[in-house]
Amino acid sequence: MTINAFKFGVSSAITAAVLWLICSALVMLMPTMMLSMSGNMLHMQLNEMGWHLTLIGVIQGLVAWVVSAGIAGWLLAAIFNRLQKA
């Protein structure tokens, strides 16, 4: 089975965009709860810190995650296809 590396990369990028936007919305709507949850996930005490979330920051993060996920998805599919041929 061969995976279309381009389509897999695009799918990865779209998935990252959706997740990033959901996460950003949750931070805007429930900042204290999300800060606590982030601290728990990172095994850190983040309660004394605060969020610095701006529209520009959301857009920059969105672009960075979309590009990163797209490249990672494409690379994953390309390596998988190479290993299938070996």
C-beta of residue 74 within 8 angstroms of C-beta of residue 6: yes
What is the pLDDT at residue 46?
83
- Provide the whole-model pTM: 0.86
What is the pLDDT at residue 19?
97
What is the pLDDT at residue 9?
98
User: Tokens 């999300």 appear where?
Assistant: 34
What is the pLDDT at residue 49?
85
By CB atoms closer than 10 A (0-12, 13-18, 19+), residue 69 is buried
Query: What is the block-wise mean pLDDT of the chain (86 residues), using blocks of 10 residues?
Result: 96 98 96 91 86 93 98 98 91
- Residue 53 carries which DSSP code? -
Neighbouring C-beta atoms of residue 13, cutoff 10 Å: 20
